Structure 1
Amino acid sequence: MPNTPPNEHDSDEDVEFEDVPLQPAPAQPQLPSTNGSDLPSEHAGPVSTNMPWVPPLRIPQQRGAPLASGSNAEVQLRGRLSTAIDRINFRQMKAQMGMDTTNTQPGHSRYTCIRQLADDIEGTADMLWESATPSIQVEGLITLAGILERSLGTYPFDAEPTLTILNKLDYFFITLMQGEHSESHTPLPGVNPDRPFVTQTQKVRIRSIAETTRSNLFAMMPMPQDDEDGTDQDDDSEEPEMPEMPPWMMQASRVYERVLMLLGDQGDPNEAGGYEFE
């Protein structure tokens, strides 16, 4: 797909994101991918309890080069990101309060489920990814991941949208830290071995968000229940049957797995960080 010139859509730069959540692909049973490719995956949500579930991973095409520092296109991207994050925070705040005003503007109503929040986060993350501009991407993605981590407990657990957005954020972070796609090893636009995209301070923050997200997620996940009739098992049964694990459980155990495996004990909290959107 050809790259879009930075100013080709200038007439639309000030238009706020439409409140039309991205819809997940229809649910289909699918085995985990074994092709080792970084092409977008078409796996969809859990259907059969006999098959592990793999979340869809759709990675948008990037520009051929980062936006020039100080350019009009970069300024516009920062503005669009700030507007998107402000709107996500506003809708999430109203979700936590459990209320809307009677004159709520379209696209600013409270979130009613984790899927709506995940859709807005994904749309903003994809916008950042398409820009191929790490000076804005990294801080923007850290802010989005932090919002998601703090918001998990607001909604009932919903495996498919939650694990799908966490898988995408994990992929974006690991790719930016390595400067290349993790399996195809295709370099990212503008990569420079002497100037990593992600600072040590940013790595510490990413690791902290990843660890807290895992902890919060495990605390709220429903655990498999023993059969209610388990007490009526035959006396000659040696051991009770283990409860059947849900198809998403394996993926839940891999939340931010790539990031945490790469970072390990890395991180220098004394190094100065970059610009953060709040």
Structure 2
Amino acid sequence: MANPPSNGVDSDEDVEFEDVPFQPAQPQQPSTNGSSDLPSEHAGPVSTNIPWVPSLRVPPQREAPFPSGSNAEVQLRGRLSTAIDRINFRQMKAQMGMDTSNTQPGFSRYTCIQQLADDIEGTADMLWESATPSIQVEGLITLAGILERSLGTYPFDPEPTLTILNKLDYFFIALMQGEHPLSHVRLPGANPDRPFVTQTQKVRIRSIAESTRTNLFSMMPQSQDDEDEDENGDGEYDDWEEPEMPPWMMQATRIYERVLMLLGD
């Protein structure tokens, strides 16, 4: 599920999404001692080391792409250009760390990665709904590039960052394969003889994916194993204990995994 927009950020109109179940909840085992299964103050620590999986909501597409040169295609290009200009403007202000007293609503600087991710996701969903690859591919490449260049502006926040990267990964792989990312149904207008994504675009997508991985890995909290070792009074160090892996770490290792696997050759 896409994260809800933060306070102070304009949200797009509600869109009906396809329900996509991911991991069904595991049934709880019945208690054998008649006591409640709820944790109590006397129970041991509850493990939080459960792998986190980002939700994915994919809006339904049109049944056919917009005809080339049609008014609908021109309007889509205009909406995309306006959305990208707005994202770039807010991101520029975030990098400068400034706003003016007369800033228009919806044009204030981003204050966290969640706000940037919300705008990128809304624009990516608009492109996906259009089912028009002549605009989708270039638009998504532009959005992915903005995100890659903007990561260092904000403190590392795993959930919104990995959620939007997961969606972009799915969208890119769907357009390259000509299949819906979840149902694997052929996309409107898909033709094996005329792929949606050109070889030049694939090179650009791969470059963005690799740069994003590098930038994000450099931002993640680093291990402090050496600093955490405490020397005791005898001049010896306490036994080292392996730190608990954050719930999001497994997902972080899969940034653009699908794209890079497909373009690995």
Range class of TM-score, shorter chain: 0.7 to 0.9
**Superposition map of 1:104-143 within 5 A:** 104-143=103-142
Quick one: structure 1 residues 129 and 216, their matched pair in 2 at CA, closer, same or farther if it must change by over 3 Å? same
User: Post-superposition shift, 1:50?
Assistant: 1.9
SS in 1 for 2:95: helix
In the aligned structure 2, how far is the partner of 1:100 from the partner of 1:238? 50
Read off the aligned partner of 2:213 and give its amino acid letter: R
Q: Which residue of 2 aligns with 1:202?
A: 201
In the aligned structure 1, how far is the partner of 2:92 from the partner of 2:126? 23
Quick one: structure 1 residues 22 and 216, their matched pair in 2 at CA, closer, same or farther if it must change by over 3 Å? farther
Q: Which residue of 1 aligns with 2:68?
A: 69
| Percentage of identical aligned residues | 79
Give yes or no for the alignment of 1:40 onto 2:31. no
Deviations 1:187-237 (A, max 9, x none): 0011011100000000000000000000000001112444846545x9999
Q: Which residue of 1 aligns with 2:11?
A: 20
Deviations 1:143-189 (A, max 9, x none): 00000000000000000000000000000000000001355321001
Read off the aligned partner of 1:54 and give its amino acid letter: V
Q: Which residue of 2 aligns with 1:96?
A: 95
In the aligned structure 1, how far is the partner of 2:263 from the partner of 2:146? 21
Q: Once structures 1 and 2 are overlaid, which stretch shifts more, 137-146 or 98-107?
A: 98-107
Read off the aligned partner of 1:62 and give its amino acid letter: Q
Quick one: structure 1 residues 208 and 62, their matched pair in 2 at CA, closer, same or farther if it must change by over 3 Å? same
Q: What count of residue pairs does the alignment treat as equivalent?
A: 231
SS in 2 for 1:19: coil
What TM-score comes out, normalization by structure 2 length? 0.80
Q: Which residue of 1 aligns with 2:213?
A: 214
User: Post-superposition shift, 1:239?
Assistant: 6.2
In the aligned structure 2, how far is the partner of 1:183 from the partner of 1:115? 24
Conserved? CA contact 1:225–1:243, under 8 Å: no
Quick one: structure 1 residues 180 and 39, their matched pair in 2 at CA, closer, same or farther if it must change by over 3 Å? farther
Q: Which residue of 1 aligns with 2:245?
A: 245
Conserved? CA contact 1:224–1:246, under 8 Å: no
In the aligned structure 2, how far is the partner of 1:105 from the partner of 1:42? 39
User: Post-superposition shift, 1:240?
Assistant: 2.1
Quick one: structure 1 residues 154 and 48, their matched pair in 2 at CA, closer, same or farther if it must change by over 3 Å? farther
Which has more radius of gyration? Answer: 2
Structure 1: 5+ residue runs without aligned partners? 1-17, 24-37, 266-278
In the aligned structure 2, how far is the partner of 1:54 from the partner of 1:179? 25
Conserved? CA contact 1:163–1:251, under 8 Å: yes
Conserved? CA contact 1:179–1:197, under 8 Å: yes
Conserved? CA contact 2:229–2:240, under 8 Å: no
SS in 2 for 1:162: helix
Q: Which residue of 2 aligns with 1:78?
A: 77
In the aligned structure 2, how far is the partner of 1:189 from the partner of 1:48? 45
